[in-house]
Amino acid sequence: MKELETICKIALIQATPVMFDKTAGLKKALQLIDTCAAKGAKLIVFPELFIPGYPFGLTFGFRVGSRSEKGREDWKTYYDNSLLSDGPEMQEIIDRAKKYGVYLSLGYSEKDAVTGTLYNSNLMIAPDGQALNHRKIKPTGSERVVWGDGNQDYFPVTETPWGPMGNLICWESYMPLARVALYQQGISLYISPNTNDNPEWQDTIRHIALEGRCYFINADMVFGRKDYPQTVSGEAEIAALPDLVCRGGSCIIDPYGHPVTEVLWDKEGILYADLDMQQVPASRMEFDPCGHYSRPDLLQLTVKKG
């Protein structure tokens, strides 16, 4: 492994998105970046779909074999508030990263520049403005009526002073071969932007940190019924939701499966930590999943680039 900077100063943001409002969501994201940079963070991580929010519980009027015009109207509102990966809103985020000389990871709903398809995406931004996009390769369950299967930008990895950094979005981390696609690139920082507040997930993230011998950055969000916008098709669906829809659970796990931070539940907050990056190569002494503990003569993974 390359020589790494010893300490990664990270800020992990657990915040409530401004639902269906990209302008207000962008303003909040920029303010949070300002706050984290002022505290000395060099890596700033946002949760899944921070702009323009995760529409948990909404069906947009879809039924098997039918759909409603009111639902289509709400979907179009969500579409209008999704971002182009190279659009003006994202450029403001990139410019802020350049201003502070920080690395950023931002989950967002991506609007394709050519087609009418949305993608659940995550952008990793370097201090020089270079950005790598990842589209979730398989939206989970009913997410498929909102976002398409990722058709490019599969497993990008950003080189950082602390080692390679990659991400998988929410339940992508349940896909064993997707994890290996990152491990094969030697990642030290595994970012998981997600909306997964069930207790079993906390067991999963410890397993992945141990399996990958990397820092697992669990980036969740917190939001409630009151945070939803007015809709034309979803009022009954929103009314049926609990007061607190997503509890969060953001945290960081070290390469041995141990917590580096508290697990943040039920509120907005920023978790700051100094990650000892020497723990990554040290942890691989007896187990390196794609190195000395692998058997490429027996098992190989071929990954399509895109």
Residues found in the chain: 306
Predicted local confidence at residue 63, as pLDDT: 85
Among all chains, which residue has been given the structure tokens 């300490």?
Answer: 7
Predicted local confidence at residue 3, as pLDDT: 75
Distances (CA, A) of 152 to 48, 68, 149, 165, 306: 18, 30, 9, 18, 5
Task: Give the Cβ contact number of residue 152 at 10 Å.
Answer: 11
Q: Does pLDDT of 2 surpass 70?
A: no
Our measurement of the distance from residue 106's CA atom to the centroid of its chain's CA atoms, rounded to an integer in Å, reads 6
pLDDT band at residue 67, thresholds of 50, 70 and 90? confident
Q: Does pLDDT of 4 surpass 90?
A: no
Please give the average per-residue pLDDT across 5-32, as a whole number.
98
Query: Model confidence over 260-287: pLDDT tens digits?
Result: 999 999 999 999 999 999 999 999 999 9
The residues assigned a catalytic role are 48, 136, 170
Q: Does pLDDT of 1 surpass 90?
A: no
Query: Model confidence over 157-201: pLDDT tens digits?
Result: 999 999 999 999 999 999 999 999 999 999 999 999 999 999 999
Q: Please answer whether residues 273 and 300 qualify as being in contact, where contact means their C-beta atoms are separated by less than 8 angstroms.
A: no
Query: Model confidence over 286-299: pLDDT tens digits?
Result: 999 999 999 999 99
Residue 63 β-bridge partners: 66
- Per the structure block, which two tokens stand in for 130? 């270079």
Please give the average per-residue pLDDT across 222-235, as a whole number.
97
Per domain, the residue ranges of the chain are: 7-56+82-229+241-283
d(CA 64, CA 280): 47
d(CA 44, CA 162): 14
Distances (CA, A) of 148 to 63, 105, 174: 17, 21, 19
Could you tell me what percent of the chain has a pLDDT over 70?
Answer: 99
In degrees rounded to 5, what are phi and psi of residue 144? -70, -15
Q: Please answer whether residues 259 and 251 qualify as being in contact, where contact means their C-beta atoms are separated by less than 8 angstroms.
A: yes
- Per the structure block, which two tokens stand in for 73? 């109207």
Predicted local confidence at residue 149, as pLDDT: 97
- Per the structure block, which two tokens stand in for 180? 């290996």
Fold of 7-56+82-229+241-283: Nitrilase/N-carbamoyl-D-aminoacid amidohydrolase (3.60.110)
Q: Does pLDDT of 43 surpass 90?
A: yes
Predicted local confidence at residue 305, as pLDDT: 81
